[in-house]
Structure 1
Amino acid sequence: MNNLLASANVPMVAVSADLRIRRYTPSAAKMFNVLPSDVGRPIGNLRPSIDIPDLEALIGEVVDTVQVRERGVRDREGRHHLLRIHPFRTADNRIDGAVVVLLDVEEVTLQAARLRQKAALIDLSSDAIIARDRDSVITFWNHGAQDTYGWTAEEAVGKVSHVLLQTSSPGDGADIDALLRSRDRWQGDVTHTRRDGTRILVESSHVVYRAANGDVLGILEINRDITDRQRMIDELAHNAAELAAADRRKNEFLATLAHELRNPLTPLRNGIHILDMIGNRAPEAIAARDAIKRSVEHMTRLIDDLLDISRITRGHIELRRATADIGATVKDAVAEFQAMADTANRKLTVRLPRDPLYVDADALRLTQVVENLLHNAIKFTSEGGKIEVALTGDDGHAILKVRDSGIGIAPENLSRIWEPFTQADTSLERERGGLGIGLTLVRTLVELHGGSVAVHSGGMGKGSEFVVRLPSVAGQRVRAKTDRAPQSKAQPVPLSGHRILIVDDNTDAANSLASLLSLMDNDVRTANDGPEALRIAAEYGPEIILLDIGLPGMNGYDVARALRRNSANGRPLIVAVSGYGSRQDMERSVEAGFDAHFVKPMEISALQEFLTAHARG
């Protein structure tokens, strides 16, 4: 009794049958003005802060009648309290006094209002809030549960929760309850059944309320319908899978397209070389051959750019960086495009710094950036126009500016031109063609090098200026050339007097290359498939085998492996000449035993440079 009174926060005073104070709670000290020294004294001697003139008479009445008495009273601050007097019984059921209790009515009323407000909020929640006892019998069911499942509170209360809702996953409702006996909470996604039979997916959270001894007294369950959200996630996942599949098909198509487009370019390039050697020397004939050369080079560049866009979208662009003089790169690119500018009657000028300007860059990709900017400038500048190229160093950066007096760019297109396949003019009458991918490559490659590129234009008809900024570094000059074969200062190995086997299922490509190499005093054989190539190689013993990859029946990789396995073939140089030129294609060539890999259309000079490098070891 003493411990109970000491821990209670309600003002209580216990008195004996003769109305003397026996015990009191700490909170009674203020309300009744009782002190420890008052224990044993009559309660009537107290001067409480609450006016209770007939307190002794009320206590006496309770002791005499053994009936509880209540009365509303007010303290000196005007707060309302409920005075309640209980008879006190001993263990042998004898009345031995009374207990006087004061309850703060306003505080109780306020707490009740708060509880009602919280209950109303819980009831109005859009989430389904369900309380159930230790046997999973529903004891509370809010409006959110009614809206979610369709049953009213009157219909749901008293039912076993997992039976009513037909809970499934991860096991069933009984499994969840079993887990909750050893845990304080559980959360997961479960499937429930609505009143109309519809199955819904809910995000479910369970919290356990336990007694002091750990027994489960009740469980609070909060469920949120996520059926639509999950359906949307599933649709997004399905769409993402379809997009990924479409992207794979696109990449496969582009690789196949590049291969198929490169095949007809090969006999064209070979034919031009043959005509250069034996053709008509009249100016008109030379001009025609030069025009075909430029067209072949342009087509080759378009194919390479198209494949690079595919690699960019897949994140497969790989930089092989080294210290390079960007001035040399710009000088070489301008020299390469000078003939194109002269033919189109455009004036191309270049200003370079006196000293080398070094950057940490992939030489091939750096050349690609400069060439794309130059090609665009010439293409979009009318006859008689000017293209100015300037390279400067400023504050740790190399700054390349390519300015033209061409058609300019409308303000609304300044941000769009960097997007893949974007054309400023999409009309049927447009004068300048292209795929709309060159500038996308420029921006991506520059940013991969840690730089930036910007465009400025005063509008249509007012020209354009592209500005590339790359971090500059200190170092020795590495010449930025685009040749795939290694550069050599040694005496070139003559591409003559060799025994060469050409393997290609494209008859025109094989025959034209054979004719060209024969004119260069080589002994040449051709084969159009893998088995024929193996047979001729065994009989002919070639020194060099130029082998296509995409052969029918037996591909070029398998042919190369078969050649390497047969020691009777000796150790010929096996060179891949293929329309397939991705990094993976070249890695597979190395694994199959190829000595080199050239992408169609192959330049004869590139093959000669490879032979020179190989001869040096």
Structure 2
Amino acid sequence: MADGTGDRAGLAAGGPSLAERFRSIVADTDEGVIILEPDGTISYTNAAAEFLLGCARSDLVGEMFGLPLAADGLRTVVDVVSDDGAPRVVELRIEPLPSGDGAAGGLVLRLRDVSDYHRDAAGARGEVRRKDEFLAMLSHELRNPLAAIRSAAHLLTRDDAGPAARREAARALDGQFRHLTRILDDLLDVSRISRGKLEVRMGRVDLCRVVRDAAAAVAPLAEARRQSLQLDVPDARLWAWGDPTRLEQAAANLLTNSVKFTPAGGRLEARVSGSGNEAELIVRDDGPGIPDDLLPHVFEPFVQGRQAVDRGQGGLGIGLALARTIVGLHGGSIQARPNDDGRGVTFAIRLPLLGVEVSPVEGDGVAAERGPAPPPLPLRILLVEDNDLVRGLLKEVLRLDGHEVSEASDGPAGLAALLDQKPDVALVDIGLPGFDGHELARRARGDERGREVRLVALTGYGMPEDVETARAAGFDVHVVKPLNYPDLCELLRGARTGPAGSGQPGDAEAACG
């Protein structure tokens, strides 16, 4: 009853008191419970409270509770070491406990383990801080190439700019395009890794060729910083089972990292060797090295050493993390260690080796730079793209190469032009107004007039499921923006080979950019 008559009757009949019944209820709960007398003396503890406080019942009962007593229901958080020796965060709340005979009641102290909550909250705060730092890094990394692009574009508008200045502007635009593409690709790869979607296409690959190509890709960056890049690759083929593109990416990331953190005029070395069933790639520099506290974390995403305000060394702190993931997917290992002379750092990749082919490799052991390939034979090309600027520029470049180009800016107009003109190739953006590129391809393949046209999907989406969607819609080739024009020329060069819409394995998986 509300007035406590029932409790008094129970006591008179020799039944259990309210406190006793309360204790029996809370004895086995996960929440810690301590009963305090009105003067603050501990009269009862359950097993959960003893565990959280790391004390036996005999050490608690009869002792005075040390915190101020205020039965206001407010929560207090304290740090404790529990019975298993683990540090924990415990939330305390004091509530009144009425007595069964109407006298002044004691207090109930409730204890709840909130360690996970506080750990998660601290982790969330850390994630927010790292996100803010990453966005600041990304902003800086994007502003530099954008500044160069703007200056180059301004230079090209000047009538008094001579041929040399125009060539330099074009070179700057191409270089910054490649730089921005690398940033975008790295960001996409980090996203793929976080979702377990990073794709590798395994096959027999020559590691010597991989390292030569990686060194050739990084050489211009080293030359710009007046650095010496020495390549030590045997005149043989070291065969491994892997994805050549991904392995080249891992090697190039190590070399790029060394270039960025080695002062101008420094020396870098890339060395490949094979022994038994293992190959080793060594990348060594004579830069300032890596601080001891940072060394164990260099392969974690977004980890970087302290840099000056101008962030002259640049980067987003993801290149080494990508290298570690790629190497792991190939059954290998990667490590970083200080050089014995105290200057610089050595990165070492070890990979399983299939075998060694000792016949000499043609050439001088250095990746040869090939000149630009001649443009493909003139084609009739339909360009379906809703972005006027992108469409206009690509149309003009294709026309300069001798192609006959028609254009459309939405799905319905693109389909009508394709069926009416029956071009050799249709370059079709996926995100179109009216209906998208996938629908355009499906309708074109469903009409006899569109079955022989070679369909090329232009899209900013490059995940494996995007390639499959394009293939299912009827596209022959899937091209990821931004377009790399030499790759597009290579694609157009083979435009008349193979039946359109054949969907043969690998056909729709070619990607430029």
TM over 0.5: yes
Q: In 2, are the aligned partners of 1:493 and 1:611 still within 8 Å (CA)? A: no
- 1:73-472 correspondence to structure 2 within 5 Å: 126-127=27-28, 282-425=163-306, 427-457=308-338, 462-472=343-353
Residue matched to 1:49? none
Secondary structure of 1:411's counterpart equals: coil
Q: In 2, are the aligned partners of 1:408 and 1:459 still within 8 Å (CA)? A: no
Of residues 520, 539, 543 in structure 1, which corresponds to 2:420?
Answer: 539
Residues 124/377 of structure 1: CA separation in 2 closer, same or farther (3 Å cut): same
Amino acid in structure 2 at the alignment position of 1:346: Q
Q: In 2, are the aligned partners of 1:548 and 1:578 still within 8 Å (CA)? A: yes
Aligned pair 1:575/2:456, yes or no? yes
Amino acid in structure 2 at the alignment position of 1:599: V
| Structure 1 stretch displaced more, 460-469 or 374-383 | 460-469
Q: Once the 2 structures are TM-superposed, how far is the Cα of residue 428 of structure 1 from its aligned partner?
A: 2.7
Secondary structure of 2:488's counterpart equals: helix
Q: Distance in 1 between matches of 2:435 and 2:306?
A: 46
Residue matched to 2:433? 552
Q: Once the 2 structures are TM-superposed, how far is the Cα of residue 300 of structure 1 from its aligned partner?
A: 0.5
Residue matched to 1:610? 491
Task: Give CA deviations for 1:142-197 in whole Å, capped at 9, x if unaligned.
Answer: 9979x9xxxxxxxxxxxxxxxxxxxxxxxxxxxxxxxxxxxxxxxxxxxxxxxx9x
Amino acid in structure 1 at the alignment position of 2:456: V
Q: Distance in 2 between matches of 1:597 and 1:591?
A: 11
Secondary structure of 1:418's counterpart equals: coil
Q: In 1, are the aligned partners of 2:277 and 2:355 still within 8 Å (CA)? A: no
Secondary structure of 1:357's counterpart equals: strand
Q: In 2, are the aligned partners of 1:389 and 1:402 still within 8 Å (CA)? A: yes
Q: Where does structure 2 lack aligned partners over 5 or more consecutive residues?
A: 1-22, 30-43, 50-96, 98-110, 359-372, 499-513
Q: Once the 2 structures are TM-superposed, how far is the Cα of residue 461 of structure 1 from its aligned partner?
A: 8.7
Q: In 1, are the aligned partners of 2:456 and 2:478 still within 8 Å (CA)? A: yes
Residues 357/475 of structure 1: CA separation in 2 closer, same or farther (3 Å cut): closer
Task: Give CA deviations for 1:426-447 in whole Å, capped at 9, x if unaligned.
Answer: 5533322111110000001101
Residue matched to 1:527? 408
Aligned pair 1:517/2:398, yes or no? yes
Q: In 1, are the aligned partners of 2:271 and 2:283 still within 8 Å (CA)? A: yes
Q: Distance in 1 between matches of 2:461 and 2:275?
A: 41
Q: Distance in 1 between matches of 2:469 and 2:340?
A: 49
Residues 343/431 of structure 1: CA separation in 2 closer, same or farther (3 Å cut): closer
Amino acid in structure 1 at the alignment position of 2:166: A
Q: Distance in 1 between matches of 2:26 and 2:217?
A: 73
Q: Distance in 1 between matches of 2:327 and 2:284?
A: 18
Q: Distance in 2 between matches of 1:579 and 1:125?
A: 60
TM-score by length of 2: 0.63
Q: In 1, are the aligned partners of 2:238 and 2:357 still within 8 Å (CA)? A: no
Aligned pair 1:590/2:471, yes or no? yes
Q: In 2, are the aligned partners of 1:407 and 1:460 still within 8 Å (CA)? A: no
| Rg larger in structure | 1
Task: Give CA deviations for 1:269-292 in whole Å, capped at 9, x if unaligned.
Answer: xx99xx9xxx98844432332222
| Structure 1 stretch displaced more, 496-505 or 517-526 | 496-505
Secondary structure of 2:353's counterpart equals: strand
Residues 367/144 of structure 1: CA separation in 2 closer, same or farther (3 Å cut): closer
Q: Once the 2 structures are TM-superposed, how far is the Cα of residue 559 of structure 1 from its aligned partner?
A: 1.8
Q: Distance in 2 between matches of 1:144 and 1:452?
A: 51
Q: Distance in 2 between matches of 1:508 and 1:552?
A: 16
CA RMSD between the two structures: 4.1
Residues 537/461 of structure 1: CA separation in 2 closer, same or farther (3 Å cut): farther
Residues 428/568 of structure 1: CA separation in 2 closer, same or farther (3 Å cut): same
Amino acid in structure 2 at the alignment position of 1:403: R
Q: In 2, are the aligned partners of 1:409 and 1:460 still within 8 Å (CA)? A: no
Q: In 2, are the aligned partners of 1:410 and 1:460 still within 8 Å (CA)? A: no
Identity of aligned residues (%): 37
Q: Once the 2 structures are TM-superposed, how far is the Cα of residue 347 of structure 1 from its aligned partner?
A: 1.0
Q: Distance in 2 between matches of 1:287 and 1:494?
A: 23
Give the length in aligned residue pairs: 366
Residues 470/411 of structure 1: CA separation in 2 closer, same or farther (3 Å cut): same
Secondary structure of 2:222's counterpart equals: helix
Amino acid in structure 1 at the alignment position of 2:449: A
Amino acid in structure 1 at the alignment position of 2:28: D
Task: Give CA deviations for 1:349-389 in whole Å, capped at 9, x if unaligned.
Answer: 10011221111111111111111112112222221111111
Q: Distance in 2 between matches of 1:460 and 1:532?
A: 67
Q: Once the 2 structures are TM-superposed, how far is the Cα of residue 541 of structure 1 from its aligned partner?
A: 2.5
Q: Distance in 2 between matches of 1:232 and 1:385?
A: 49
Secondary structure of 1:602's counterpart equals: coil
Q: Distance in 2 between matches of 1:455 and 1:232?
A: 35
Q: Distance in 1 between matches of 2:375 and 2:312?
A: 44
Q: Once the 2 structures are TM-superposed, how far is the Cα of residue 539 of structure 1 from its aligned partner?
A: 3.2
Amino acid in structure 2 at the alignment position of 1:126: A
Q: Once the 2 structures are TM-superposed, how far is the Cα of residue 228 of structure 1 from its aligned partner?
A: 6.8
Q: Distance in 2 between matches of 1:507 and 1:407?
A: 49
Q: In 1, are the aligned partners of 2:238 and 2:356 still within 8 Å (CA)? A: no
Q: Distance in 2 between matches of 1:561 and 1:549?
A: 12
Q: In 2, are the aligned partners of 1:493 and 1:612 still within 8 Å (CA)? A: no
Secondary structure of 2:262's counterpart equals: coil
Amino acid in structure 2 at the alignment position of 1:534: L
Residues 127/524 of structure 1: CA separation in 2 closer, same or farther (3 Å cut): same
Q: Distance in 1 between matches of 2:357 and 2:382?
A: 41
Residues 528/425 of structure 1: CA separation in 2 closer, same or farther (3 Å cut): farther
Task: Give CA deviations for 1:75-106 in whole Å, capped at 9, x if unaligned.
Answer: xxxxxxxxxxxxxxxxxxxxxxxxxxxxxxxx
Amino acid in structure 1 at the alignment position of 2:186: D
Q: Distance in 1 between matches of 2:437 and 2:320?
A: 35
Residues 426/340 of structure 1: CA separation in 2 closer, same or farther (3 Å cut): closer
Q: In 2, are the aligned partners of 1:503 and 1:528 still within 8 Å (CA)? A: yes
Secondary structure of 1:392's counterpart equals: strand
Q: Distance in 1 between matches of 2:342 and 2:407?
A: 54
Secondary structure of 2:281's counterpart equals: strand
Task: Give CA deviations for 1:455-513 in whole Å, capped at 9, x if unaligned.
Answer: 12259993221111111112779xxxxxxxxxxxxxx8952421111122222111111
Residues 143/555 of structure 1: CA separation in 2 closer, same or farther (3 Å cut): same
Q: Where does structure 1 lack aligned partners over 5 or more consecutive residues?
A: 1-121, 129-141, 148-195, 197-226, 478-491
Q: Distance in 2 between matches of 1:459 and 1:394?
A: 23
Q: In 1, are the aligned partners of 2:214 and 2:249 still within 8 Å (CA)? A: no
Amino acid in structure 2 at the alignment position of 1:290: R
Task: Give CA deviations for 1:256-315 in whole Å, capped at 9, x if unaligned.
Answer: x9xxx9xx99xx8xx99xx9xxx9884443233222212111110110111001111111
